[in-house]
Structure 1
Amino acid sequence: MRICIFGAGAIGGYMGAKLAAAGADVSLVARGPHLAAIQARGITLIEDGGTRTVPVRAASDPAALGPQDYVIVTLKAHSVPAVVPQLSRLLGPEGTLVSGVNGLPWWYFHRHGGPLEGRRLESVDPGGVQWDGLGPGRVLGSVVYPAAEVVEPGTIRHLEGNRFSLGEPSGEKSDRALRLSEALTAAGLKAPVRPRLRDEIWVKLWGNLSFNPISALTGATLDRLCTDPGTRAVARAMMLEAQAIAERLGIKFPIDVERRIDGGAAVGAHRTSMLQDLEAGRPMEIEALVGSVAELGRIVDLPTPTIDMVLALVRLRAKVGHLT
């Protein structure tokens, strides 16, 4: 089984290091100093107080790696359309594309059933580039839970979590899902195959939809924005709007809004990924995390006034940049 991780930053690097240490046939697509360091000495993982460096094949040009059985995409959502031709060339004849990207996935309505079956989402797949170039039939969904960081080129520090939930768009327990689950489990990761992966997608998106843009607009860490009465109320309003949309689509939430916000507060003084991207001058995942939910609201004819307002503000913040 040949596995390629496309986008070997913090999360992709963490997964790659774990797989390589377990002896899996894994390769990485990376770039810049990070790639150079991995090629020179392997990838270093700092985990549980210990440090381990493992050799792993890495390249900037996917063509150098050959066809793969699984291509696991761990890029930011807005970066994926531009690399569709490269991803297509990496996939072998029966290759599976594992979508480990934050936000509402472009394949969401593939094998969804009902009147929205096959519906495309312009906010996360402008022009249908991924749908047409890759094909939703190749996709195995994933919800990524670990937190990690690149502390220097070629070195990843694992912070918490080791679960990568997997799921077919149809909900079936397919052979390809079970095979990948076994490989990840052998590497010391948790990889349950879920019959209702979309429920997990929404629970994670619930927080990202609200906490991320609010943090980018205010500069606040999770503990502050989840406990301040004003910003907590904004987050709650956004999440209730999103919940109404999701439930209309058949999603079941295992917890309520207050518990979800309390969970965010419990993380502590964490800067969300959107705030980190803003401060570093990188593009933010606005459309995948917020714009996609606003688009779904229009599709199912439910109002999203708070989401729309915050979306307008954070889009302008992206154009203006970080204010120091």
Structure 2
Amino acid sequence: MRYIIIGAGAVGATIGGRLTESGHDVVLVARGAHAAALRAEGLRLTTADGTRTHRPPVVSGPAELGELRPDDVLLLTVKTQDAIAALDAWGDAEVAGGGTAAQRLPVFCLQNGVEAERLALRRFGTVYGVCVWLPSTFLEPGVVSALCEPLTGILHIGLAAGGTDARAERVSADLVKSGFGAPVVPDVMRWKHAKLLGNLGNAIQATTGPAPEPAKAALLLRAIREAKAAFAAAGIAYATDEEQSAARDGRVNQPAVLRGGSSWQSLARGTGSIEADYLNGEICLLGRLHGVPTPVNDVLRHAANIFAREGLPPGSMSITDLTALADEAAART
């Protein structure tokens, strides 16, 4: 199998680099200064066991590869707000022997939230969900860090519509060989809904900074309570805290770092977009569909989008001000 990593940012480059290191055929998809650096200098990936440079092929789109191979596996690692463009571009790519990628090839969705799988299922015949636990940082073009140990990350894998198959097992085996935990589960979306609860704090971290504070934890707890009420009203199951701890504890030990997560990094890089509509916004959507108030999540979604749209520095809002906005919104409901 050849792995095409569509979006070689922090997560994509880490997975692509690790797969390359273990002898697998990998193509990285990137653009701009990052693509230029990857082509010129290779991918410099730092993990818990050191820094190495990998030099897999780098392309900016399917046209540069020509016909795709029947054994290609697409790993979609762009953020959800960029998923439609990527799915459309790669889904229309022709595969040797006839047909398109959307008709013949599998796509694995490695986004936070639960919307990417639905977007992919509208276009691709074979879609897998991947619940990603992989703290990693895009440091500069061509340079990525992922310091967890003894495993670099944990990636739960399963068919997006439910169930497992032989391909999921093969991909899991390749990832395990490459330094990841990769459990194959029949209910991967249950795991992704559980992770979504923690990702509701991404907007808090992005707007007020990554340093832990009791007031930040308190606001996140309010957002999670709204989400759990929305899940209950919608009949959505999610993995328990105990299940997640059993899967991760002692296997992905993360060193203390001051850099923020994926949403914080989007603001720091000035990408102009952020994933809040598919994290906090997912809870707002469920709340509106099922009659559950979600004022805290709506404030977090709105604040994160303002930061992205206006190019505000990450962490430049006080948690006191953000909490006050949430209190005002809650009082209006």
Partner of 1:298: 288
Q: Which amino acid aligns with 1:199?
A: R
**Superposed displacement of residue 320, structure 1:** 4.0
Asked whether the equivalents of residues 221 and 268 of structure 1 are also in contact (C-alpha less than 8 Å), the reply is no
RMSD: 2.6
Partner of 1:143: 131
Inter-CA distance 158–309: structure 2 relative to 1 (3 Å threshold): closer
**Superposed displacement of residue 158, structure 1:** 1.7
Task: Quote the Cα distance in structure 2 between the aligned partners of 1:310 and 1:92.
Answer: 35
Is 1:159 the equivalent of 2:147?
A: yes
Size of the aligned set, in residue pairs, is 289
Tell me which moved more, 242-251 or 185-194.
242-251
* Structure 1 residues not aligned, in runs of 5+: 109-124
Tell me which moved more, 170-179 or 36-45.
36-45
Partner of 2:321: none
Is 1:79 the equivalent of 2:79?
A: no
TM-score by length of structure 2 reads: 0.77
Is 1:48 the equivalent of 2:48?
A: yes
Inter-CA distance 222–300: structure 2 relative to 1 (3 Å threshold): farther
* Structure 2 residues not aligned, in runs of 5+: 94-100, 250-254, 317-333
The aligned runs of 1:15-26 (5 Å cut-off) are: 15-26=15-26
**Superposed displacement of residue 177, structure 1:** 1.0
1:255 aligned to which of 225, 241, 265:
241
Report % sequence identity: 30
Task: Quote the Cα distance in structure 1 between the aligned partners of 2:47 and 2:232.
Answer: 38
Partner of 1:246: 231
Partner of 2:163: 172
TM-score by length of structure 1 reads: 0.79
**Superposed displacement of residue 48, structure 1:** 2.3
Q: Which amino acid aligns with 1:286?
A: A
Describe the SS at the equivalent of 2:181: coil
Asked whether the equivalents of residues 157 and 188 of structure 2 are also in contact (C-alpha less than 8 Å), the reply is yes
Describe the SS at the equivalent of 1:235: helix
Task: Quote the Cα distance in structure 2 between the aligned partners of 1:269 and 1:177.
Answer: 35
Describe the SS at the equivalent of 1:107: helix
The aligned runs of 1:1-324 (5 Å cut-off) are: 1-65=1-65, 66-68=67-69, 69-90=72-93, 91=101, 93-108=103-118, 130-132=120-122, 134-135=123-124, 137-160=125-148, 161-209=152-200, 211-217=201-207, 219-224=208-213, 227-228=214-215, 231-248=216-233, 249-255=235-241, 269-282=258-271, 283-322=273-312
**Superposed displacement of residue 244, structure 1:** 2.0
Tell me which moved more, 83-92 or 295-304.
83-92
Task: Quote the Cα distance in structure 1 between the aligned partners of 2:179 and 2:172.
Answer: 11
**Superposed displacement of residue 34, structure 1:** 2.3
